[in-house]
């Protein structure tokens, strides 16, 4: 495999320059002001796939942003890998906290800084380059199909119908995704689980207009005060979520699983130092690894209302709002949890206010079994690239389409992610390590071989 290492080394600069070209286009799916650039990015990705050697590349139209498709079918009797990734990115706000502009990528300290560097343009592009190597050395050992979507960061709302309508086109043996992180380059890991998501917006309305907080304060319910109390009551003193029935379907980890998790190499002091916190926080009786990996959680993502301009304005606001997310674990269903939340939230509202609960997009959790050929192939691929057996780790993040890949296409997903928790995805100064990019690309090439081998 010296040929691979040589190829990667020789082409590294070109790979990075191509990635920079992609990172420069602000494909912010959440913001309609970037509609043109998001479409432009799709076309750019299509061109890159075509240049790497993919056949039948196309932009598949959906009700939203198109899905970029490409394939290389060398022999119908060989196994097929279906690669998924996303070309859309999160909004870069707050802009003032970036050290360099989010869409003007810079390379610094062995990392490339830009919105989307790790999530997911950088990780998606490793697949294009791994495929390019296999094509240019005439060593592709199996068939491959690519679907790169543009709406992952807004819930992949149009992708479900796309996969339902294209079952035949997407026929494959495994799904391969690089859109998660690993513990470190020294302790490579494979993501074996993703959380589900229930995302809800709430509005609490008090009086029919903003009031003078002196004339009416103390006599009329303040929707912000009420909302804060309602949110605070969603967890008890042990940080257990108090929504009735919330934990009913949670599969509790066995003592064996928990002791295995406790072996995960992880340094709590370093974790705290990197985040600038003095103490971690969470559900009593569980470790940080358990809280993020195997326990469901509830967080306020945004809260607003009243006067937030300069100076003081004495006002008792008419409305208060919040966006609340719950991360779910097997076997919780997002629809059920959303329903439980809605009923509970409405039931705890005092008569002095009205409450409106609006569900947003959601998604089901996913677990990758580790006793399968696919997992063994992935493990072997990491071993070849890193010289170490990877540790299975369950992630706190969500990729809602993964559960649907299983439901609709009947396919298991391998989450071969190479990001690091310090990449600051969704945050200012997002970055992706060049080493991660190169090692990731190498591992993906190995996976094509280990996977094809197993299927012989």
Which positions lie near ligand BES, rule CB under 6 A? 119-120, 152-153, 155, 179-181, 194, 197, 361, 363, 395, 397-400
Minimum CB separation from ligand BES for residue 395, in Å?
A: 4
Minimum CB separation from ligand BES for residue 439, in Å?
A: 17
Residue (340 or 401) nearer to Mn ion, CB: 401
Residue (120 or 380) nearer to Mn ion, CB: 120
Interface residue list for Mn ion (CB under 5 A): 119-120, 179
Binding partner of 395, given Mn ion, ligand BES, none, CB within 5-8 angstroms per partner class: ligand BES
Minimum CB separation from ligand BES for residue 150, in Å?
A: 12
Minimum CB separation from ligand BES for residue 48, in Å?
A: 20
Residue (71 or 152) nearer to ligand BES, CB: 152
Residue (368 or 398) nearer to ligand BES, CB: 398
Minimum CB separation from ligand BES for residue 333, in Å?
A: 15
Residue (72 or 195) nearer to ligand BES, CB: 195
Binding partner of 181, given Mn ion, ligand BES, none, CB within 5-8 angstroms per partner class: ligand BES
Closest listed residue to residue 189, CA positions, set 393, 335, 52: 393
121, 48 Cβ separation under 8 angstroms: no
Minimum CB separation from ligand BES for residue 159, in Å?
A: 11
Minimum CB separation from ligand BES for residue 258, in Å?
A: 21
Residue (116 or 141) nearer to Mn ion, CB: 116
Binding partner of 155, given Mn ion, ligand BES, none, CB within 5-8 angstroms per partner class: ligand BES
Binding partner of 197, given ligand BES, Mn ion, none, CB within 5-8 angstroms per partner class: ligand BES
Distance in angstroms (rounded) separating the CA atoms of residues 160 and 62: 10
Residue (352 or 407) nearer to ligand BES, CB: 407
Binding partner of 400, given Mn ion, ligand BES, none, CB within 5-8 angstroms per partner class: ligand BES
Minimum CB separation from ligand BES for residue 121, in Å?
A: 11
Residue (64 or 305) nearer to ligand BES, CB: 64
């Amino acid at each position: 495999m010296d040929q691979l290492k040589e190829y990667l080394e020789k082409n590294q600069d070109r790979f990075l320059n191509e990635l920079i070209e992609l990172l420069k286009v602000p494909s912010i799916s959440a913001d309609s002001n970037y509609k043109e650039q998001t479409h432009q990015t799709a076309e750019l990705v299509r061109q890159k796939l075509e240049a790497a050697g993919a056949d039948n590349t196309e932009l598949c139209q959906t009700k939203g942003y198109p899905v970029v498709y490409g394939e290389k079918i060398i022999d119908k009797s060989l196994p097929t890998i279906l690669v998924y990734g996303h070309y859309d990115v999160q909004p870069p706000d707050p802009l003032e906290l970036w050290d360099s502009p989010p869409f003007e990528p810079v390379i610094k300290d062995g990392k490339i800084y830009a919105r989307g560097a790790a999530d997911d343009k950088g990780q998606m592009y490793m697949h294009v380059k791994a495929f390019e190597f296999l094509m240019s050395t005439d060593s592709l050992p199996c068939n491959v199909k690519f679907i790169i979507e543009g709406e992952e960061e807004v819930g992949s709302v149009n992708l479900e119908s796309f996969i339902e309508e294209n079952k035949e086109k997407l026929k494959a043996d495994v799904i391969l995704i690089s859109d998660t992180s690993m513990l470190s380059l020294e302790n490579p890991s494979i993501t074996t689980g993703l959380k589900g998501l229930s995302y809800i917006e709430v509005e609490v309305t008090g009086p029919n207009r903003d009031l003078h907080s002196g004339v009416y304060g103390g006599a009329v319910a303040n929707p912000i005060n009420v909302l804060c109390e309602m949110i605070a009551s969603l967890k008890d003193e042990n940080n257990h979520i108090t929504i009735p029935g919330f934990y009913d379907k949670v599969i509790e980890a066995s003592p064996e699983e928990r002791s295995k998790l406790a072996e995960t190499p992880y340094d709590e002091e370093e974790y705290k130092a990197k985040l600038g916190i003095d103490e971690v926080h969470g559900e009593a009786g569980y470790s940080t690894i358990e809280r993020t990996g195997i326990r469901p959680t509830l967080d306020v993502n945004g809260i607003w209302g009243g006067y937030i301009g300069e100076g003081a304005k004495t006002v008792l606001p008419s409305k208060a709002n919040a966006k609340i997310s719950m991360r779910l674990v097997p076997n919780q269903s997002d629809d059920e949890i959303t329903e439980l939340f809605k009923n509970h939230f409405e039931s705890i509202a005092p008569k002095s206010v009205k409450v409106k609960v609006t569900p947003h997009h959601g998604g089901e959790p996913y677990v990758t079994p580790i006793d399968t050929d696919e997992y063994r192939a992935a493990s072997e691929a990491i071993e070849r690239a890193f010289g170490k057996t990877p540790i299975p780790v369950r992630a706190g993040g969500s990729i809602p389409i993964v559960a649907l890949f299983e439901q609709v296409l009947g396919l298991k997903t391998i989450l071969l992610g190479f990001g690091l928790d310090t990449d600051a995805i969704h945050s200012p100064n997002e970055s992706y390590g060049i080493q991660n990019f190169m090692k990731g690309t190498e591992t993906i090439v190995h996976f094509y071989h280990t996977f094809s081998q197993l299927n012989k």
